[in-house]
A and B are shown apart, each in its own frame.
Chain A
């Protein structure tokens, strides 16, 4: 066990001195030296046991005492393996689930972003009355950077996909085009090589790219000779000037390389079109409010200077972290709340088990008291036992958390920062803290109760199982478990129902049998719209001729994904002052889109491919809301600014374009079929869409040999992925809730079984006196059910209080959905009956004579 400490050595020295003194006295009395030594030693009795006994007296030596407690605890626990395993497993699940969710929270919400002084990084967007979170126009980005006084620098980026063609086959690479000062804002330097030079950031200057660590390892085997090599994109070569560190994953982990986006390029001079996602680094000591006020002033000045474009423009300043993780924050805290409840249930469960165990050990505890042990020392010993259990539980829990984190990363690969989730020391400390908290939570109360002096008086009567007291505490604990479990189960049930509702909505389009993919292209190609349109149409015609393809179309966005792109419109004829403003979701699609997505044409005709006369389609909501239904056809729509007007050619059915969980809103479809980066191809297939991937690749290679095809995914999968967070939190909460219910049932079962075992004598007596077995069953069953019922009532009350936390996550059900809550209570009661029935029947099966003889 423990090393003999200072105390033990002191004792040995002291006792040795005593023996020596005695031997000396005996010798002085005339004994020989040997005889005297022997006699002295003999008189002393068993030397080692003296040392031990004396040492045991001393409880100042905390460590040695702890060692002894540990030894005792281990001895006690190995004697009851079933109890030990139950408790360790329960705690492992509780602590494991808790640590796993905490590791996600730690990585996503708590840990600072992996950039130096990341608290000074903010995301900037321009807002106007119709769009709260818009991309920033290049001249405005430069103005903000030049005129502000609170930022070290402001920069921006946008991404597009390119085909790199120096290899055998074109490879799709993701490129981030970055405004000047990009690395300066992040405070990150290339791992190898250098940042862009000012010449490279000017229009017409030398080409240069920084490549990602991932691309460097994949294409250049991590060889430093990659510096100075080139990437070939379209007709140009791009020398590699630097390699970024592996930790730099901005804007996300899919980016393969970064290249400058010249702000003095002729195409970047319009204040009307924005494409930059802007970021800034505040100066040290500047607060968010100061930065906001400063940029507001700057923008107000710009509004006076450029009244046409900037007068109604505002600036949105958000901390970087908030901008990246705001969406998942609620889900994560909700999950954390539910695993904490789970841990609480586990602790309550164990507390009930410990109480039963403590009553079984009353005799042992009484003996200790009568031997002079203090209450504190007995309680400490009982707590040590729980500590051993929790530590074992938390170690096992860590293993579970490690696995869970892996599953989490796989299931939630779209969450921001999800690849930063890992088990590190902070998680280990967290789960140890959980263990200590669990020890106190589930051990303290039983320990204090078990060591109450009144119990010590039971020494005389111990060993006799008379009718015992009613155990209200154990039943309260079980009731608490049931209540918490009902609350978790209600939450899970509501989420599950929302999910079901979401699957049941008719979206207005048919997502089955649709394959989507991208084909590489660059923004440069969009300068000649005519060529871009011809190219797209050639590809679509080719696809339609392929076997197995029913329809083909192109669209800038995908239907059914949560995206918002609202714009304000006007009619050429003008709107009366009294008419409402026309706000609509804007979509750019090729004419074949409606046939491919099976969105029905309600009136008019589908717009044709015609570069010169641009047409537009509107959905029924738009026509009804703004233009008096069918009368909308042939009206002309314009966007504020210098856009050409478009004629409304037809009206189509309402579809949930901007999210399955959103009612269809007024939508305009611009008939636009020029190829641009990010264009989605949509093909309706006769068979399984995934089996068409190879056909599509071959067909595109025939038509456009220098372009790569990538991201071949069925539309249904895209939609499912978009709701992955939704699905994940539903699955997790359901899992936690079921675990909670099982724990609560084990608690109920354990407590009733214990009750039956200590009341055997009473039951036996009653049976002997003629009680019916059904009466006995009924009595125990009633006891179990009363507890479960009270627990359910308390659980429903808790749900009513905390249900509104879920309100924002629900779809199609209210937080107090009677059917869900009824089902939850029904389930919990049914399982409670099962859990109570077993011990009740066991009690009724007792053989009265045998019981009475035994006890």
Chain B
């Protein structure tokens, strides 16, 4: 595969998915990708190859709940929503993310 500048750093995908679902809406996989791309103004691109394994792992961990439903175009799709456990996980991941970025930023700024 070709190089991609905007690949998501390993480990942050879960955070992004959790954040996306935090609005309380039920979203299907494609909508999650679309949301992340739109909000990041195309800076981030979610690779499908990582998205679904991640979603399933999160479901297994009990962070998200999945159920079959219909889209507004009346197509069958699997919808994901956040669980209470997932919300707690989100807080943790946000914290560790900000620690990481702050740390990285300090190192970069240090002359």
Residues of A within 8 A of B (CB): 10-11, 13-15, 17-18, 20-22, 25, 43-45, 50, 53-54, 56-60
Contact = CB atoms under 8 A, between A and B. Distances in A.
A58 to B, nearest CB: 5
B40 to A, nearest CB: 17
B59 to A, nearest CB: 8
A44 B49 contact: yes
B50 to A, nearest CB: 9
Contacts, number: 52
A43 B1 CA distance: 10
B28 A57 contact: no
A44 B49 CA distance: 7
Interface string B8-30: 00000000000000000000111
A53 B76 contact: no
A362 B57 CA distance: 26
Nearest to A49: B49
B60 A45 contact: no
B82 to A, nearest CB: 18
B26 to A, nearest CB: 14
Interface in B52-71: 52-53, 56-57, 59-60
A139 to B, nearest CB: 82
Contacts of B52: 11, 14-15, 18, 50, 54
Contact of A57 (B48, B60, B75, B78): B60
A330 B29 CA distance: 69
B57 A57 contact: yes
Taking chain B's interface residues, is the majority helix, strand, or loop, or is none over half, making it mixed? helix
B56 A58 contact: yes
Nearest to A7: B56
Nearest to A57: B56
A14 B29 contact: yes
Contacts of A57: 53, 56-57, 60
Contact of B53 (A13, A22, A54, A60): A54
B78 A53 contact: no
A60 B78 contact: no
A747 B46 CA distance: 55
B49 A50 contact: yes
29 contacts: A11-B52, A13-B76, A13-B78, A14-B52, A14-B77, A15-B48, A15-B52, A17-B29, A17-B75, A17-B78, A18-B52, A20-B75, A22-B30, A43-B48, A44-B48, A45-B1, A45-B47, A45-B49, A50-B48, A50-B49, A50-B52, A54-B53, A54-B56, A57-B53, A57-B56, A57-B57, A57-B60, A58-B56, A59-B60
A110 B28 CA distance: 61
A18 to B, nearest CB: 5
Given A15-B52, A17-B29, 18 more contacts: A11-B52, A14-B77, A14-B78, A17-B76, A17-B78, A18-B29, A18-B33, A18-B48, A18-B52, A20-B75, A21-B30, A43-B48, A44-B48, A45-B47, A57-B57, A57-B60, A58-B59, A60-B60
A843 to B, nearest CB: 47
Contacts of B60: 57-60
Nearest to A45: B49
Contacts of A43: 48
Interface string B57-98: 101100000000000000111100000000000000000000
B28 to A, nearest CB: 7
Contacts of A14: 29, 52, 77-78
Contacts of A21: 30
Contacts of A22: 30
Contact of B77 (A17, A44, A45, A50): A17
A463 to B, nearest CB: 26
A415 B33 CA distance: 77
Closest 8 CB pairs of A and B: A57-B56, A21-B30, A54-B52, A14-B78, A18-B30, A57-B53, A57-B57, A17-B77
A610 to B, nearest CB: 100
A21 B77 CA distance: 10
Q: Which of A43, A54, A59 has the most chain B CB atoms inside 10 A of its CB?
A: A54
A11 B78 CA distance: 9
B108 to A, nearest CB: 29
A53 B54 CA distance: 10
Nearest to A25: B34
A42 to B, nearest CB: 10
A357 B76 CA distance: 49
Q: Which of A17, A18, A44, A60 has the most chain B CB atoms inside 10 A of its CB?
A: A18
A370 to B, nearest CB: 14
A53 B49 contact: yes
B49 A17 contact: no
Nearest to B1: A45
